[in-house]
Structure 1
């Protein structure tokens, strides 16, 4: 048997084994098969995209894994999942939003924009996460209104245990997409007006990345907003983006 034919036979056998594992009822075998599918690249993308009938945690697992491969099939599955709301779909749609942002980057902006005002709170937050990390400028007005609504609806006291909050995500996106100083000034005015409705973690984040925003800081004629590239690097370093979903 020629070497090329032998390699092809081995590859086909690997794909068949992975495909069987993806249909296995055994959780360990299923998880191992998903990891193997990711390693197969585009071929694994096709195998996972065929699994339209999975439910529960297995469906979420597959959707998350599709964010770590590139191929011609997975993006359609992710987009269809995001566009299909209903009872019990929140986890799947959130996983699909993150996966689509990871794999399509700026090209996912249309879907992320559509999800910013979704009825599901988790979906709204994952849409903001994706836009903050990779979105283009088209969601600027919608995100600005979303941020106003978030701050307007807050009640005191407020506590967060991480920096990645909807307020921070909206601010990162709006600063990344600010086309002139007027956009940054409008954002600063809103945040200062609602400053007492920010959590301690949010104030600490702004103190690190935008210290001149603090209304109690010494007056300055220069708002000095952070560089968009700095903000994007900060968010893309988060494990949600920097590490594979399935390890």
Structure 2
């Protein structure tokens, strides 16, 4: 059984309602076969470079931001059991990105999901800055598998020391753990993944819908990490 601390985090009522309404009015993204929504934002074509390396800014002094949201409703994997493993606040890493740095959103970045050989039962999320200026990948992405009404649990142990800032063409990564130990839960198959980027105030900045790899299953022990500057950190949990 996993020993990592996992916090079930859902969007605040207004943010989640906005994200759900944004999903309903999203358009087709012909560049990646994705559907993006949010504040008149659409995904731009993915950058072809895969060797971009993100950097983390120096921590700023001050008290980290927190956001508490109810851990209620259907689990993001769609099993309907609910996952109430703690209504604890999600604590932000120190925001090394300057206030003037834009948030990475569907307007200035693209997101893709891919399979990995190791560790097993994991997927990798990659966000690429496709704009002309730096952008910051704040916190962890909020994920919704298929039509789930609650966001996927976020792994608190993966919180970095500073927010990851991306120059044009650079990438950040988040690991997705899909399943716990065999027999713990009944796995649920999912076809689509909603990825919601958030700003420095932990508010939704638009959702991108991705097609999941075939035969993707999740259970209530799954998690997503905070955005990381390299693949190794994203997949170490």
TM-score, normalized by the shorter chain, greater than 0.5? no
Which bracket does the TM-score occupy, shorter chain normalised?
A: under 0.3
Which of these two proteins has the greater Rg computed from alpha carbons? 1
Q: Which has the higher strand share?
A: 2
Give TM-score, length-normalised by structure 1.
0.23
Q: Which has the higher helix share?
A: 1
Greater relative contact order (Cα 8 A, min sep 6): structure 1 or 2? 2
